[in-house]
Amino acid sequence: MGRPVPTVPVPALAPWPEPSNASLSDASGTRRSRTGTAAGARYRKPRPPIAAFPVNIDLVAKLGIVKVKLDRDVNCYIVSDATTKEAVVIDPGAPAEKIAEQLAGATVRWIVATHGHPGHVGGKDDLKALAGGETAIHSADAKQFLRSADRYLIDGDELDFGEFKMSVVHTPGHTPGSVCLVIANHAFVGDTILAGGIGRQMPETDLRRQMMSIGTRLLRLPLSTALYPGHGPATSLERELAQNPIFRGAGAATR
């Protein structure tokens, strides 16, 4: 059985209505605005959703995603622009040759790890030698696992390829430098969240911080966002909110 983990506090997902000058009285006689807040109380808009790239339907249709199954049951993803043939490799585990076979005709711009565990980053240097491109990992995991890279990422960075921008969202917890990589309405989430669970707990895992990252960062994405985890099948944010035990007060099974 899986080890119980802290649950994610789910914020209200619907945007608050705009305030109105008109007000109503409730049963207690307190004057309240039409938004339900006490009259005179300061109105606060919620933070806007994380938007790495405006969702242009015609442009998103040009985005290609190929999953390559690697050692240790790791999912590597090749994300490419169908027009320019520029590509990003996400989670370059081993064997690198298996990834390179899927890159025929593509120009690799970036080789990016969602975190520093060997299964997700162990093939990066071999892949760079085979296919080119610049390697990247969050600076916290570079320090934690003594990983070298051409670029050390921080929250809010953007990596360009073709007509697309990939946004780096720092989601610490599974590891100190875990990141999710967001392109339009697609999020590559590593081991931060899986279909029906979360990534396996490791010595450096901080579960409460991981739950906080999910609750404060991933839940700001649109519900329709597709999630591509580091293990197991793809899913969506809406599906995980409905089915993943971490959102239901139960212990989530870890992998």
CATH classification of the domain holding 209: 3.60.15.10
Residue-number span of the structural domain to which 120 is assigned? 50-249
pLDDT tens for residues 99-148? 999 999 999 999 999 999 999 999 999 999 999 999 999 999 999 999 99
Task: Tell me which of 19 and 150 has the higher pLDDT.
Answer: 150
Long-range contacts of 68-76 (CB under 8 A, 24+ apart): 68/98, 68/99, 68/102, 70/94, 70/95, 70/98, 70/99, 70/119, 70/123, 71/95, 71/119, 72/118, 72/119, 73/119, 73/231, 74/119, 74/120, 74/230, 74/231, 75/228, 75/229, 75/230, 75/231, 75/232
Does pLDDT of 37 surpass 60?
no
pLDDT above 50: residue 176: yes
Would residue 36 count as lying in a domain? no
Given a contact cutoff of 8 angstroms between Cβ atoms, the answer to whether 73 and 82 are in contact is: no
Concatenating the DSSP letter of every residue in 86-122 gives EEEEES--S-HHHHHGGGTT-EEEEEE-SS--HHHHT
* Residue 219 belongs to some domain of the structure: yes
| 76 in any annotated domain | yes
Q: Is residue 235 a contact partner of residue 222, using CB atoms and an 8 Å limit? A: no
The model's confidence at residue 5, banded by pLDDT at 50, 70 and 90, is low
pLDDT value of position 45: 44
Q: How far is CA 250 from CA 8, 29, 223, in A?
A: 10, 40, 21
Peptide bond into 95 cis (omega under 30): yes
Give a yes or no: residue 174 inside a domain: yes
43: in domain: no
Residue type, 213: S
Is residue 81 in a domain? yes
Higher-scoring residue by pLDDT: 49, 246: 246
C-alpha to C-alpha distance for 215 and 219, rounded to whole angstroms: 5
139 domain residue, yes or no: yes
> How many domains does the structure of the chain reveal?
1
User: Is the confidence at residue 47, as pLDDT, over 80?
Assistant: no
Residue 155 counted as domain residue: yes
Which whole number is the average pLDDT over 4-22? 46
Confidence of residue 10 (pLDDT cuts 50, 70, 90): low
pLDDT of residue 57: 74
Supply the mean pLDDT for the chain: 84
Q: Which residue has the higher pLDDT, 6 or 121?
A: 121
Mean pLDDT over residues 7-28, rounded?
Answer: 42
* Confidence band of 13 (pLDDT split at 50, 70, 90): very low
